[in-house]
Amino acid sequence: MRSAKRLEKIPPYLFSEIARAKAKALAEGKDLVDLGIGDPDQPTPQPIIDRLCRAASTPVTHRYDETPWGWQEFIEAAAAWMKRRFGVEVDPGGEILLLIGSKEGLAHLSWAYIDPGDISLVPDPAYTVYKISTMLAGGAPYIMPLKEERGFLPDLAAIPSDVARAAKLMFLNYPNNPTGAVASQEFFDEVVAFAREYDIVVCHDAAYTEVAYDGYKAPSFLASRGAKEIGIEMHSMSKTFNMTGWRIGFAAGNRDVVKALNAIKSNVDSKQFPAIDIASAYGLLHQDELENALTLYQRRRDILVDGLNAVGWKVTKPKASLYVWTRIPEGHTSIDFAKRLLEEAGVLAVPGIGYGQYGEGYIRMSLTVSGDQNGERLQEAVNRIAKLG
């Protein structure tokens, strides 16, 4: 049996390889401090679970959702949330679309815009889906390096004008995975001007806007003047409400882009279990009353960053996201260094190269650590790393 050629272009999914290394270490009886995948370790707030249980007992949720954009209660709650949280107006009748998690939306967007040979502008290092989905659609990702000296923002002026003219899609993500960097509204204003000049659809992946520290509030790309004319933003319940396993998010913004994405989706999926939509709507409408894990993440961040800096590392404290992104000592590749951390210290971190060529020289450590109550596993990681020297 021969699978499609397009599959040959795809490198192994980084986290599958990490899962294998982790399983091996655990089988050997190692006590791992797992700073690998960014998957909230705290439970979904109980009121959301209660709402799910009630909705799941209502037979109307047991059938296909035949609405055009997604279960009305969810779509309206998402529109109200965009208005309340960012001051952004989006029409529930065509400017918002339910996603089965933002990963799915990001991947399908490439199918809606990229024909064989088309260019998409993709940041590097980055969440791998932007690049791989472009390749799966037969397109050519053009890499926008995210460099530390520019605060991990792409240099739009460095994109050659013939590339910009040919590009159809640009992916961005702030607060950023893996660097933890944030973007200002002024940066988004520049993106809008650039995209308008070159007629590019912008997709801002906003999965981490609600994971922020020290009072920082991440802005929405859609709050920039003219943004809705050229792009969309993808939001996710995953990190905001500890709901990664539930698989729900939404795309909001330009009506034509939402429609194009929906044209793909309505041919490959049949929306989400409506009880999940209803429970998520509750979360969006009651965000401020629900318990969140931000105080715990912030404590972990401080223990990790202050602890590593105290033993001679130079680590910047991220204002947002679930990640600490840090340079590794000269003379190692990120894979070798992560291997050494795993084998000699029992600390699992992700090698930066897994996020693209500009991730080399870095590792990513996640603040979502199963079994950690109050930062003690992060302290354990720091102690073990300190012992390594």
Ligand X SMILES: Cc1ncc(COP(=O)(O)O)c(C=O)c1O
Please report which helix (H) or strand (E) contains residue 334, including its range.
Answer: helix 334-340
In contact, 380 and 348? CB cutoff 8 Å: no
CB of 37 to ligand X, least distance (A): 8
**Residue closer to ligand X, measured from CB, 173 or 254:** 173
In contact, 310 and 222? CB cutoff 8 Å: no
Please report which helix (H) or strand (E) contains residue 86, including its range.
Answer: helix 72-86
Using the rule CB under 6 A, is 238 a contact of ligand X?
yes
CB of 239 to ligand X, least distance (A): 7
List for the chain the helix, strand, coil content (%; round to 5): 50, 15, 35
Select from 5-13, 45-53, 101-109, 136-144 the region that touches ligand X (CB under 6 A). Answer: 101-109
* Contact string 183-212 vs ligand X (x = CB under 6 A): ----------------------x-x-----
Among 44, 61, 102, 224, binds ligand X (CB under 6 A): 102
Identify residue 254 by its one-letter amino acid code.
N
Within 9-68, which residues bind ligand X (CB under 6 A)?
38
Burial of 122 (0-12, 13-18, 19+ CB in 10 A): buried
Select from 99-107, 143-151, 160-168, 356-364 the region that touches ligand X (CB under 6 A). Answer: 99-107
Select from 97-105, 151-159, 298-306, 335-343 the region that touches ligand X (CB under 6 A). Answer: 97-105
In contact, 33 and 347? CB cutoff 8 Å: yes
**Residue closer to ligand X, measured from CB, 88 or 237:** 237
Burial of 130 (0-12, 13-18, 19+ CB in 10 A): buried
> Distance between CA 86 and CA 62 in Å, rounded?
33
Give how many residues touch ligand X by CB under 6 A.
13
**Residue closer to ligand X, measured from CB, 164 or 279:** 279
CB of 225 to ligand X, least distance (A): 25
CB of 116 to ligand X, least distance (A): 25
> Distance between CA 339 and CA 357 in Å, rounded?
18
Among 45, 92, 180, 249, binds ligand X (CB under 6 A): 249
> Distance between CA 242 and CA 42 in Å, rounded?
6
Phi/psi at 10 (5° precision):
-90, 125
Using the rule CB under 6 A, is 101 a contact of ligand X?
yes
Neighbours of 278 (CB within 10 A): 22
CB of 243 to ligand X, least distance (A): 8
In contact, 230 and 196? CB cutoff 8 Å: yes
Among 44, 120, 236, 368, binds ligand X (CB under 6 A): 236
CB of 205 to ligand X, least distance (A): 5
Select from 98-106, 159-167, 210-218, 357-365 the region that touches ligand X (CB under 6 A). Answer: 98-106
Select from 95-103, 141-149, 185-193, 344-352 the region that touches ligand X (CB under 6 A). Answer: 95-103
List the one residue out of 112, 71, 123 whose CA is nearest residue 262.
112
**Residue closer to ligand X, measured from CB, 85 or 103:** 103
Q: For the chain, what is the radius of gyration of the CA atoms?
A: 21
Q: Which residues bind ligand X (CB under 6 A)?
A: 38, 101-103, 127, 173, 177, 205, 207, 236, 238, 244, 249
